[in-house]
A and B are shown apart, each in its own frame.
Chain A
Amino acid sequence: MSRRISPVIPGFGLTLGYTLVYLSLLVLIPLGAMFLKTTQLSWEQFWAIVTAPRVLAALRLSFGAALAAAVLNGIIGTLLAWVLVRYEFPGRRIIDAMVDLPFALPTAVAGIALTALYAPSGLVGRFATELGLKIAYTPLGITLALTFVTLPFVARTVQPVLADIPREIEEAAACLGARPLQVFRHILLPALLPAWLTGFALAFARGVGEYGSVIFIAGNMPMKTEILPLLIMVKLDQYDYAGATAIGVLMLVVSFILLLLINLLQRRIEAP
């Protein structure tokens, strides 16, 4: 079955076997158990659970906020990557190191920090309230929390690709009379788009499932600011295992379809 890259390298059976057993025990069998559990429901029961108004509202909020956060990160992440790769300026090294903070910081800490910041009495919330804008306990607050926890994804996938684009190509284009916007459209965009989409997809997937950073700032009002993962928790607290499982399956299936679409889009871009 295996075609070794080199005939003298040992350990194929051992490492593949270990990998498969470990993944099966820890990831595949438990996830399979969830799908098995759903089969205890009839199709009508499953449909009734996942189309309940409260579930649909949470579905819209979770995917909508994750999408908005991924778009926002598509902009901020590209800006950070661009500035970090192309310019030399005071504080560059600090920003470069700190971009990864959201990955290192426990999400619960991020959650309470952002709530303290954006609450009506908070440092930023105070100004927002004066402008008549409510951030904490609204979908806007959820989006900002998701933007924080997924901030590194786009920046870190775009950064190495941007660093690898030879500057000579842009200079040549400029010498041949291309305007900056044309250089961007015809040289930078095609090169960066696949990496950008990867970062976007990672941020989106993480945002849909994110729990710790959101529940503090969300306010968790049913139908208004309740995200899907929280709804699973609510069902579990009520010992409604079938309901929790059905929502879990719904989340996995919808995320899978969306990631598949992004993947297809990426392939179309990469193969002109």
Chain B
Amino acid sequence: MTSATLTVAAARRGNPWARRALILAAWLAFALFLLLPLFVVLSEALKQGLGTFVDAILEPDALSALKLTVLAVLISVPLNLVFGVAAAWCVSKFEFRGKSLLVTLIDLPFSVSPVIAGLIYVLLFGAQGYFGEWLSDHDIQIVFAVPGIVLATLFVTVPFVARELIPLMQEQGTQEEEAARLLGANGWQMFWHVTLPNIRWGLIYGVVLCTARAMGEFGAVSVVSGHIRGVTNTLPLHVEILYNEYNHVAAFSVASLLLLLALVILLLKQWSESRMSRLNTPADEE
């Protein structure tokens, strides 16, 4: 490094005192807003030792809540994955009138309160709802049952995969797909061998975010659940019930299970993000 580049580097770092103060402020904000809540969940959960902690997680109601949460994730994530790919395909590879309206509609569930997301399904499928009578005549229960929980989870997680894929696919353009077609690939071959490998990491990123929200959704699921222990309780709802029963140690134990899952999700997110940026900027690695 020459002395000239050193001077520029020094100039770039700016005022050293301002720099130190800002870094310190960022650390403080990080510790106060993000680290402390984490610490509280774990310390409250382990207050009465590891035994009570494990008991709270292995209790039958907690396990059935875990099962329902996994079920809701396993149904809503694949459905929204297929939707996300389809939506991103038509938005990013074609020009048509009303496109920006369509993108707004895809994002709509983000700006609707989760409580409203639950409410609309109660209005449709509840006992007093538009389809309520027909459903009860045919002995089908949606609200206050598992299908309602899945529907509410689906609603709040609609945009996640599409949102990640649209900008990525717009940036990639259509040249590689065109080449595949001109070389004789049919539509599916082009998709599997050209498009999918290109959007792989963005797809994983979207799925990770979608899973996080599906696993943790509370408001929407709370409206349609009916809170029947062991039947229509997801893990977040189970946390609420335990907490309201003043069973704080158990509530924080189940909460720390969710916290660990959240940390795993953050790791997966970080990993898919770094793979994505490596693919996009291969020139950066010398």
- What's the Cα separation between A209 and B114 when bound, in Å? 7
Task: Knowing A79-B22, A108-B239 are in contact, say whether A8-B181 is a contact too (CB < 8 A).
Answer: yes
Contacting residue for B178 out of A6, A29, A109, A210, CB 8 A: A6
Q: Is the CB of B119 closer than 8 A to any CB of chain A?
A: yes
Q: Are A33 and B124 in contact (CB under 8 A)?
A: yes
Q: Are A31 and B112 in contact (CB under 8 A)?
A: yes
- What's the Cα separation between A79 and B114 when bound, in Å? 29
Q: Is the CB of B201 closer than 8 A to any CB of chain A?
A: no
Q: Are B94 and A5 in contact (CB under 8 A)?
A: yes
Contacting residue for A30 out of B44, B120, B218, B240, CB 8 A: B120
Nearest opposing residue in chain B for A231, CB measure:
B115
- What's the Cα separation between A114 and B87 when bound, in Å? 37
Most central of A9, A233, A252 by chain B CB within 10 Å: A9
Q: Are B94 and A104 in contact (CB under 8 A)?
A: no
Per-residue CB contact flags for chain B residues 54-83 toward chain A (1 = under 8 Å, else 0) read 000000000000000000000000000001
Q: Residues of B within 8 Å of A, CB-based: how many?
A: 97
Q: Are B36 and A123 in contact (CB under 8 A)?
A: yes
Q: Are A211 and B154 in contact (CB under 8 A)?
A: no
Nearest opposing residue in chain B for A10, CB measure:
B187
Per-residue CB contact flags for chain A residues 100-112 toward chain B (1 = under 8 Å, else 0) read 1111111111101
Q: Are B22 and A30 in contact (CB under 8 A)?
A: no
Task: Knowing A87-B19, A98-B30, A104-B269 are in contact, say whether A113-B235 is a contact too (CB < 8 A).
Answer: no
Q: Is the CB of A131 closer than 8 A to any CB of chain B?
A: no
Query: Chain A's nearest CB lies how many Å from the CB of B249?
Result: 11
- What's the Cα separation between A176 and B87 when bound, in Å? 49
* CB neighbours of B269 from chain A (8 A): 100, 104
Q: Is the CB of A270 closer than 8 A to any CB of chain B?
A: no
- What's the Cα separation between A118 and B278 when bound, in Å? 41
Q: Are B37 and A95 in contact (CB under 8 A)?
A: no
Q: Is the CB of B236 closer than 8 A to any CB of chain A?
A: yes
* CB neighbours of A102 from chain B (8 A): 34
- What's the Cα separation between A1 and B243 when bound, in Å? 55
Q: Are A211 and B270 in contact (CB under 8 A)?
A: no
Of A44-52, A132-140, A185-193, A240-248, which binds chain B? A240-248
Q: Are B115 and A116 in contact (CB under 8 A)?
A: no
* CB neighbours of B22 from chain A (8 A): 79, 82-83, 87
* CB neighbours of B8 from chain A (8 A): 171
Q: Are A241 and B123 in contact (CB under 8 A)?
A: yes
Per-residue CB contact flags for chain B residues 229-251 toward chain A (1 = under 8 Å, else 0) read 00000011101100100001001
Per-residue CB contact flags for chain A residues 8-20 toward chain B (1 = under 8 Å, else 0) read 1111101110111
- What's the Cα separation between A211 and B112 when bound, in Å? 12
Q: Is the CB of A129 closer than 8 A to any CB of chain B?
A: no
* CB neighbours of A108 from chain B (8 A): 216, 218, 236-237, 239-240, 255
Q: Are B218 and A107 in contact (CB under 8 A)?
A: yes
Per-residue CB contact flags for chain A residues 167-183 toward chain B (1 = under 8 Å, else 0) read 10001001000001000
Q: Are A109 and B41 in contact (CB under 8 A)?
A: yes
> What 3 A-B pairs come out closest when comparing CB atoms?
A209-B113, A106-B216, A212-B218
Can you name 26 A-B residue pairings with CB atoms under 8 Å? A4-B93, A11-B187, A15-B90, A18-B83, A19-B90, A26-B158, A29-B124, A30-B121, A79-B22, A79-B25, A99-B34, A106-B218, A109-B216, A110-B37, A117-B37, A151-B33, A151-B34, A167-B12, A205-B110, A210-B219, A216-B243, A232-B115, A241-B123, A241-B128, A244-B119, A248-B119
**A interface, CB within 8 angstroms of B:** 1-6, 8-12, 14-16, 18-20, 22-23, 26-31, 33-34, 37, 76, 79-80, 82-84, 86-87, 89, 91, 95, 97-110, 112-114, 116-117, 122-124, 147-148, 151, 167, 171, 174, 180, 202, 205-206, 208-212, 216, 228-230, 232-233, 236, 239, 241, 244-245, 248, 251-252, 255, 259
